[in-house]
Amino acid sequence: MPHEKISAILLAGGSGKRMQSDIPKQYMLLGEKPVLCYSLAAFDQSRVDEIILVANKNDMEYLNDKILKQYPAEKPVHLVPGGEERYYSVYNGLRRAADSDYVLIHDGARPFITAEMIERVIASLKEHPACAVGVPVKDTIKIVDTTKTIIETPDRNMVWAVQTPQAFSCPLILRAYDMLMEDLKKEPQAKKTPVTDDTMVLEYSLHYPVKMIMGSYSNIKITTPEDMLMGEALLHREN
């Protein structure tokens, strides 16, 4: 049976705006290492074949000198310049991974991804060509209108907070992204569409079902100063 190639796309193109910092959040120190290094190490220890690191084109030298040389990976790591929006960055990464059978897409600002979670996602791909990790919400969720007035309360048992990694058959997700890119060319106003994760692209382009896999409440995304405090606490607990 031929080997099926698995690529991991690690997104490292965020800014420090919501972190109230000039340093992009993925490069800020968490404990003794930059945030990005934790997820990079987790995928390096997994059974993916390569890591595609997508980042701001102006960060390439920094990534080489301060990340990859100081925290070297055993697997091949390919640097790819990102785009002005998340979905353009993912698309650039997917084009680099076009010869792969499967692809896992992960936010570099989620440092608490584990090898066990990555393995469960990869195992799920055999049965579900599109899947994502997430957790059931704990709070009651409200849908509000533009005036912040509640208009609906969804059944909490039906609401999950999606996380990453999100994993797909590579030809499937690449086809969905190709369709999205074509639509963006036809309708410039669609560039403002808030496509915030990759399952949305499958929903938008192909209406393809995505399987949700239980993630972890510790799999937080470092976005705000409060998230960094939580990350420090989680790191202290793990150590």
pLDDT in tens, 43-93: 999 999 999 999 999 999 999 999 999 999 999 999 999 998 999 999 999
Is the pLDDT higher at 36 or at 19?
36
CA distance 171 to 129: 10
Residue 107 within any structural domain of the chain: yes
pLDDT, tens digit, for every residue of 173-220?
999 999 999 988 887 655 556 789 999 999 999 999 999 999 999 999
Predicted confidence (pLDDT) per residue in 174-186, tens digit: 999 999 999 888 8
At residue 191, the pLDDT reads 57
Task: Band the pLDDT of 13: cuts 50, 70, 90.
Answer: confident
Tell whether the model's pLDDT for residue 16 goes beyond 70.
Answer: no
Nearest to 8 by CA among 167, 218, 171, 222: 167
Q: Is residue 147 part of a domain?
A: no
pLDDT for 111: 97
Read off the tokens for 196: 């915030």
Residue 116 has pLDDT above 70, yes or no: yes
**Residue type, position 41, single letter:** A
pLDDT at 124 over 60: yes
Please name every residue paired with 152 in a beta bridge, in sequence order, or none if there are none. 143
CATH of the domain at 188: 3.90.550.10
Domain enclosing residue 226, as ranges = 6-136+162-238
> How many domains does the structure of the chain reveal?
1
Calpha distance 151→67 (Å, rounded): 47
- CA dist 49 and 43 (Å) reads 9
Query: Residue 118: how many CA atoms within 13 Å on its side-chain side?
Result: 27
Structure tokens at 134: 């997430």
pLDDT band of residue 103 (cuts 50, 70, 90) is very high
Closest of 195, 176, 37, 166 to residue 102, by C-alpha: 166
- Collect all residues with Cβ–Cβ distance below 8 Å to 38 and sequence separation of at least 6: 30, 111, 112, 113
* Amino acid present at 19: M
Rounded to an integer, the average pLDDT of 134-144 is 97
Residue 148 domain flag: no
- Of 93, 109, 94, give the one whose Cα is nearest residue 230: 109
pTM score above 0.85: yes
| pLDDT tens readout for residues 25-52 | 899 999 999 999 999 999 999 999 999 9
Rounded to whole angstroms, the Cα distance separating 80 from 66 reads 16
pLDDT (0 to 100) of residue 128: 97
The answer to whether residue 112 scores a pLDDT higher than 80 is yes
What's the pLDDT score for residue 218? 97
3-state SS, residue 28: coil
